[in-house]
Amino acid sequence: MNHCTSCQKALEGSWLVCADCGAVQSDSTIDFFQALGHERRFGIDTAALEREFHRLSRRLHPDRFARASAEEQQNSLAATALLNDAWRTLRDPVSRLEYLLKLEGHAVGEEHAGKGKSAERQPPSDLLEEVFELNVQLEELRMSQKMGEAADGAVVKDLAATGVRFESMLQAVDDALAAESAKWDTGAAEARTEAATRMIQLLDRRRYLQNLVRDVHETLGAAA
Amino acid sequence: MAYSDKVVDHYNNPRNVGTLDKSSEEVGTGLVGAPECGDVMRLQIRVNPETQVIEEAKFKTFGCGSAIASSSLATEWVKGKTIAEAMEIKNTDIVKELALPPVKIHCSVLAEDAIRAAIGDWKKKNGVAETVAVAAN
């Protein structure tokens, strides 16, 4: 619960602006969910959130404060910047997932790598084997492209099939992420911890797969 | 971010790139990946069964310059060492040698993991029990 710095009433909805007296708040420590006045959860009605984002954008827009005090102008600028970051982050399911997990104190992403032993976060060995083999294939194809050789039709076809397979693996990961995030949204503390652990693993797997799918498309695009 | 000269050197002239026969009893293979950035690294060692000295080491890494340099350096370092000596190599040694910036420390961790995985694979093949770390004091 946060209170308006101007009228001291409890803030409802977005913590960026007081719904009661209209004062823009200068609290830069609020998180993206608080900025958009949304409960902290994975499942979000993005269309409704977008409407709220637009409403708040208009409400906080610096143009509206052109004749206000320097402090109010500053608050409007800062609040608008925060609101934009919040919407950009929460609109995308994956960045929302990563953000919320970080907010909950979990180590996610590259900047947390190497702080602990990565052994417990090692992806399954079957996936590693596949990833390695695919990279070998990709490299061979790139080499032949560099040498100006015509791409081997069979290799290209093989690679395209691998790309499709990895795309469906990516889809499976996204489905699993959706299932785990629903568990988190509705679960108690223990279920939440479990779901979060699963989601971090899934996100790791997703990053792998996404890079591979991208590499396959890039290489095939160059071969075409 | 600029890479150090040593990273650039290993990146441009990687040492010991290649493949050893995975099915050989004398060869240990370590395949590891960094979930954070999607890098994959394979490090292989050929161990003399009599002396337990690593006589040959090869690597193949798909990843950034730091990951390639870390694994290239790792193969250089393990060559000529015994299994026990190679286990002593720490990722921090690699960080120091290559002057890796903080965001690339995980590349060195990956190289250390790869060495350990390769040694672990060789030990499993040859029925050598995992040595239990004994506290020095």
User: Is residue A102, in this structure, part of any structural domain at all?
Assistant: no
- A217 vs A212: CA distance, rounded Å: 9
Using a CB-CB cut-off of 8 Å, the residues of chain A touching B31 are 125, 128-129, 132
Using a CB-CB cut-off of 8 Å, the residues of chain A touching B103 are 110-111
Strand locations in chain A, DSSP E?
none
pLDDT at A124: 66
Per-window interface: B 44-63 vs A, CB < 8 A: 60, 62
- What's the CATH number where A11 sits? 1.10.287.110
Same domain for A147 and A56?
no
Find, among B137, B132, B130, B98, the residue nearest to B28 by Cα.
B130
- A201 vs B13: CA distance, rounded Å: 35
Cα distances (angstroms) measured from residue A51 to each of A57, A157, A178, B84 = 10, 45, 23, 63
Whether B106 sits inside 8 A of A132 (CB atoms) is no
Indicate the residue type of B70: S
Same domain for A137 and A86?
no
pLDDT in tens, B22-64: 999 999 999 998 766 778 999 999 999 999 999 999 999 998 8
Which DSSP symbol is given to A10? B
Find, among B18, B119, B107, B33, the residue nearest to B70 by Cα.
B107
Per-residue confidence in pLDDT tens, chain A, 224 aa: 689 988 998 888 999 999 888 889 988 889 999 999 999 999 999 999 999 999 999 999 999 999 999 999 999 999 999 999 999 999 999 999 999 999 999 888 655 544 444 445 566 677 788 888 888 888 888 888 777 777 677 778 888 888 898 899 999 999 999 999 999 999 999 999 999 999 998 998 888 788 888 888 888 887 65
Whether B42 sits inside 8 A of A111 (CB atoms) is no
Task: Please tell me if residue B106 touches chain A, with a CB cutoff of 8 Å.
Answer: yes
Whether B113 sits inside 8 A of A119 (CB atoms) is yes
Same domain for A186 and A122?
yes
Residues of B known to be catalytic? 37, 107
User: Is residue A124, in this structure, part of any structural domain at all?
Assistant: yes
Q: Which two tokens stand for residue A140?
A: 């061979």
User: Is residue B136, in this structure, part of any structural domain at all?
Assistant: no
- DSSP SS3 for A15: coil
- What is the domain range of residue A21? 1-91
User: Is residue B135, in this structure, part of any structural domain at all?
Assistant: no
Q: Label residues B39-58 b or e (16+ Cβ within 10 Å = b).
A: bbbbbbbbbeeeebbbebbb
User: Is residue A43, in this structure, part of any structural domain at all?
Assistant: yes
User: Is residue B80, in this structure, part of any structural domain at all?
Assistant: yes
Using a CB-CB cut-off of 8 Å, the residues of chain A touching B110 are 118
Could you give the number of structural domains in chain B? 1
User: Is residue B41, in this structure, part of any structural domain at all?
Assistant: yes
User: Is residue B20, in this structure, part of any structural domain at all?
Assistant: yes
pLDDT at A116: 46
Give kind and range of the element (H or E) at residue B79: none
Same domain for A196 and A151?
yes
- A103 vs A31: CA distance, rounded Å: 8
Cα distances (angstroms) measured from residue B124 to each of A127, A165, B57, B120 = 21, 32, 18, 6
- A40 vs A90: CA distance, rounded Å: 11
Token look-up 């990722």 returns: B91
Q: Which two tokens stand for residue A105?
A: 């104190």
User: Is residue B130, in this structure, part of any structural domain at all?
Assistant: no
Q: What are phi and psi of A51, to 5 degrees?
A: -60, -45
Domain final position from A75, A91, A107:
A91
User: Is residue B96, in this structure, part of any structural domain at all?
Assistant: yes
Same domain for A67 and A6?
yes
User: Is residue A122, in this structure, part of any structural domain at all?
Assistant: yes
Could you give the number of structural domains in chain A? 2
Residues for chain B: how many in total? Answer: 137
CB neighbours of residue B25 within 10 Å:
11
Judge whether B72 and B94 are in contact, CB under 8 Å: no
User: Is residue A101, in this structure, part of any structural domain at all?
Assistant: no
